[in-house]
Structure formats: C-alpha cells, structure tokens
Amino acid sequence: MASSVRPLQKDEDRTSFRSGDADLDHFFHRYAGQNQFRHRAGVTYVYEHEARIVAYITVTAWTIESDILAVVEGRKFPPYPLPALKIARLATAEGERGRGYGSALVAYACAMAFKMSREMGCVGISTDAKRDAVDYYAARMLPGQRWRLMAASALGVSPRTGLPYSAG
C-alpha cells in the first residue's frame, strides 16, 4: 500500500476525484492546475494512496494584518502585514474520510510553514475555514509547535478585507 504526498502534476487526470462538496470538486477539476502552472498563485498537493488521489490541499503565500494577529495573540505586532501560509482548499474523497489523509495534509502544510518561518519568515497558518471546520484544523496543528491558526471565520472578520462581519 504505497502512499505519498506530492505536488499536483501538470497533465494528470483529476476528473474522477469526488469529495461530496461541489465547490471543492469544481476547483480541483478546473482551477487547481491553472492556479499552479499558469498563474503561479498557489500549489496543490495531493495525497496519493494505491495510485489514486484520495485528498488534496492547496496552499499559497499570504499576509496577515498585524491588528488581526494582535487579536489572536493578545499582544502588539509591527504595523504592517506579516507573512503567513494560507490553506486555501482541503478536501478528502468520498469514502476515504476518517483515514487520516486530510490530517496528514494539514501536518504537511504545518511543516511547510515551519520551514518557511526559518528560511524566509512566516508567522503562522491562515485559512478561510467555515466556522464548523476551525476545530478540525486546530486539532491537527503539529504537536509541540507553537503555530498560530488564524481562521478568519473564527475571529469574526472577513477573510478578504479583515473587517468585522456578522455571521447572521
């Protein structure tokens, strides 16, 4: 049972992947390759198990406004945006949930962020996770690492503008 995490390959067929979430599937089928190879806007990593893609995660460089980080940390930061790694998408194939594939990809992203922090600067990991998914991400942060998970929805701020919003 060979398993690996690797970057998405340019010409590989992604059309058979189904997560049960139409938006995540549409992104993976249509835009993951464009964002990675044409626009260089993010990189999608796939978890391959027995020669089949069972999960994917898309990450991108991001910045966090220092005032939002101050809310998370309860202390002041420099008055300019700070570098972070953003988990833009995460999905596991239907029938494969609960087997640790998504958790492995989150751990992979954490290791990437930790490496970034040593080599170029990174204050943590950001995600636009839905409110009910924030605990999922938080529970999968690398043990022993002091990583900040900045889920905009958990802070009650818009992930695009950083301005407060109401979930109502």
pLDDT beyond 60 at 163: no
Query: What CATH number corresponds to the domain at position 122?
Result: 3.40.630.30
- The amino acid occupying position 123 is V
pLDDT beyond 90 at 70: no
pLDDT beyond 80 at 32: yes
**Residue 62 maps to a domain:** yes
Tokens of 53: 């893609």
Global pTM value: 0.80
Tokens of 9: 């390959």
**Residue 168 maps to a domain:** no
Q: Which helix (H) or strand (E) holds 125?
A: strand 125-127
pLDDT beyond 70 at 27: yes
Q: What is the largest CA-CA distance in the chain?
A: 49
pLDDT beyond 50 at 35: yes
Q: Are 28 and 8 in contact (CB under 8 A)?
A: no
Residue of higher predicted confidence among 61 and 114: 61
The number of folded domains in the chain is: 1
**Residue 163 maps to a domain:** no
**Residue 165 maps to a domain:** no
Residue 108 neighbours by CB under 8 Å, 6+ apart: 5, 45, 57
Whole domain around residue 137: which residue ranges? 3-155
**Residue 161 maps to a domain:** no
pLDDT beyond 60 at 22: yes
**Residue 130 maps to a domain:** yes
Residue of higher predicted confidence among 149 and 106: 106
Tokens of 29: 């089928």
In DSSP notation, 79-106 reads: SS-EEEEEEEEEEE-TT-TTSSHHHHHH
> Mean pLDDT across the chain, nearest whole number?
81
Q: Give the residue ranges of DSSP H helices in 20-168.
A: 22-26, 32-33, 66-73, 101-119, 134-139, 152-155
